[in-house]
Structure 1
């Protein structure tokens, strides 16, 4: 089905008019992002707030918009309040988001104790993803060097024992990097292959990423092997995930303007739901491909008039900064367009 924001908006409007709270949430999202209708963030937020009376998931959506600040002004108090309501209503992911907020300190001052407590709360609700995230925070010392990496490895191991597929892939990745586990790239690749053969899609994807991007001298980049891996395990992927990985793999071998043009065309034809995340991934796999896509889309929006060639020129940076000004969170772009925080926002706005 070809995406049609206007038809989607009309359908959401009918659902909302019929009293469907999910329709009201989606209608609110459309107004906030301007998809299928002129942007009206305040009206969109009001619609989602109305939906909270009938649908607890609306609290999470509200907290998401108010905490990220991509399309509306970030509001720490209101965002946290919405996530707390969602969490108390049974949404463990809301507590994970609260853990992220207090870990990162971009919305409120960093508070390691609160962050850990919220992750633990989500884990107590049976959410193994919370154990995995908390474990990674310890291993990568996101709370500071005083927190024990061994505790982090144990938490990730516990998540794997609970059946979390990503945790299995993360443990292998730690073996490759030597963070928290003895460095052994060959053993890591073997465990990923065995897990993928058992049907673990996250292990297959980690294996793909390892050869697509390379891991330095430990595992050199091997595009041919990455292609074989994607073909071998493609049945483990959901259709949209498979589409994204094919595009990112295409980017890994793109070196010319002709290659970048083909990549941009493939991206434009991909489902809208995966385009932002795919653009963001390009920055890591092939920065020049990321810049090319940005130039192409900025030119379509009338924000850039220079050559579309994948080179990060001064005029390209200026155009990206103009794009950032469309968001209430424009300061997130202060680190430059290739900074991780900035690239994530730019990827959302380019979509």
Structure 2
């Protein structure tokens, strides 16, 4: 995806810090990166003494059905349900422990619980465990078994498994990239009423510019299946000229933006602010951009709040200056729109942005390494955007430990650093470009967060 963006100097190399920060090539890990809270019941919940230990545990973990949010108590109830042989509780708790979030992650225990649920015949546990084994995000990759588990569920016409396997083939994560298989699986899931894989396929097809009409058709179908993000993707493609030529494409923005808003999509307000910032069919204005994002965040738009904090932290080298005190003030003002982990990661990135001298890099590297989860989620991306030299410094430290770098720890991406990064990059999944895009956010983030 082309995007004008902040440009930063790293060891003599100019790079766009915003390039690929959008949805292009998004790994399936981002979709699978957290356990999903069960939907709140639309009917009156049974009284506490009528609900099972698992139901009460889920309610306490996520704060549902009138329960005060108490993750620790919720886990205790789920453990009780597991001890009673509740297979759904094994799957639910296993899923939560793989990534953590409401409670600390414990992948080893998570795998044990998921394996028990799989052995008991739980199909959803098969899909969850298959995704983790194939993705290799928090446990060692076992691509053969992961694919086997997912294919078993695909054979049973499970749209969740079809969606997951489609994206593994689409992005080349753990499997060779195969868009033909990705599309077939996306179509199968769409027939069952699930449009996520069709959305992701259409998105990749659109940004690749292989077939704009087919991409538009796939994304529209995904939107009609209830994927609000597909309408926002279409709006984004329209504004950047990816839907049939620049003027023809941009004329489609308003219609897709209206559909995205009607579907309750938050990202569309960020896209409108980006149009204002860069002057895409609007007069470019930094102050109006900040005003748009602030209004959206005031209305409870979490995506706008995240984008606003990052923009104030980094500036854009055109019409918005870096203002780190304002970034911290915005982060504090909109704290309720961030998860606890995201709040800490953004706060760390703001602090890191101020520390670019050698002593500061060393001190911040120590801080990052001492904080569990500092690079999880989009932490690596935010850290690289805020202080690319710190990200390179952290990579240099790791390369030294592996004997892949003998130069100074200076945070500069010189030839020896690039050579070491490329060697590590070639061992990572996901069909990364380890030559031309070795300093892109997607590659640097993958190197920073690798096990």
TM-score calculated relative to the size of structure 2 = 0.69
Aligned-partner Cα distance in 2 for 1:177–1:58: 40
Distance 1:292 1:20, change over 3 A: farther
Give the equivalent residue in structure 1 for 2:413. 312
Give the equivalent residue in structure 1 for 2:194. 91
Give the equivalent residue in structure 2 for 1:78. 181
Per-residue CA distance 1:227-269 (angstroms, 9 max, x = gap):
1110111012122332332233233223134443454455453
Aligned-partner Cα distance in 2 for 1:303–1:33: 26
State the Cα distance separating 1:8 from its structure 2 match: 2.4
- Alignment pair present for 1:127 and 2:230: no
State the Cα distance separating 1:37 from its structure 2 match: 5.5
- From 276, 289, 307, the equivalent of 1:206 is 307
Per-residue CA distance 1:139-158 (angstroms, 9 max, x = gap):
11234435331322442244
- From 130, 133, 136, the equivalent of 1:28 is 130
Give the equivalent residue in structure 2 for 1:183. 284
- Alignment pair present for 1:173 and 2:289: no
Give the equivalent residue in structure 2 for 1:113. 213
CA contact (8 A) 2:183 2:198 kept: no
Which structure has greater helix proportion?
Answer: 1
Give the equivalent residue in structure 2 for 1:141. 241
State the Cα distance separating 1:341 from its structure 2 match: 5.2
> Which moves more between the two structures, 248-257 or 34-43?
34-43
Per-residue CA distance 1:100-132 (angstroms, 9 max, x = gap):
221233xxx811111000111112123332111
Give the equivalent residue in structure 2 for 1:4. 106
State the Cα distance separating 1:40 from its structure 2 match: 2.5
Q: Secondary structure at the match of 1:148?
A: helix
**Greater CA radius of gyration, 1 or 2?**
2
- Alignment pair present for 1:160 and 2:261: yes
Alignment of 1:264-283 (within 5 A): 264-268=365-369, 269-271=371-373, 275=376, 277-283=378-384
CA contact (8 A) 1:100 1:115 kept: yes
Per-residue CA distance 1:37-57 (angstroms, 9 max, x = gap):
653212211111112326321
- From 194, 204, 213, the equivalent of 1:101 is 204
Give the equivalent residue in structure 2 for 1:227. 328
Aligned-partner Cα distance in 2 for 1:297–1:276: 20
Aligned-partner Cα distance in 1 for 2:222–2:312: 34
TM-score calculated relative to the size of structure 1 = 0.87
Distance 1:215 1:38, change over 3 A: closer
Aligned-partner Cα distance in 2 for 1:171–1:99: 21
Q: What RMSD, in angstroms, separates the aligned Cα atoms of the two structures?
A: 2.7
* Structure 1 segments unaligned to the other structure (5+ residues): none
Aligned-partner Cα distance in 1 for 2:430–2:406: 24
Distance 1:292 1:193, change over 3 A: same
State the Cα distance separating 1:87 from its structure 2 match: 2.3
The count of residues paired between Structure 1 and Structure 2 equals: 346
Per-residue CA distance 1:290-310 (angstroms, 9 max, x = gap):
212322344455544544331
State the Cα distance separating 1:175 from its structure 2 match: 0.9
Q: Secondary structure at the match of 1:308?
A: coil
Aligned-partner Cα distance in 2 for 1:63–1:220: 41
Q: Secondary structure at the match of 1:312?
A: coil
State the Cα distance separating 1:276 from its structure 2 match: 5.8
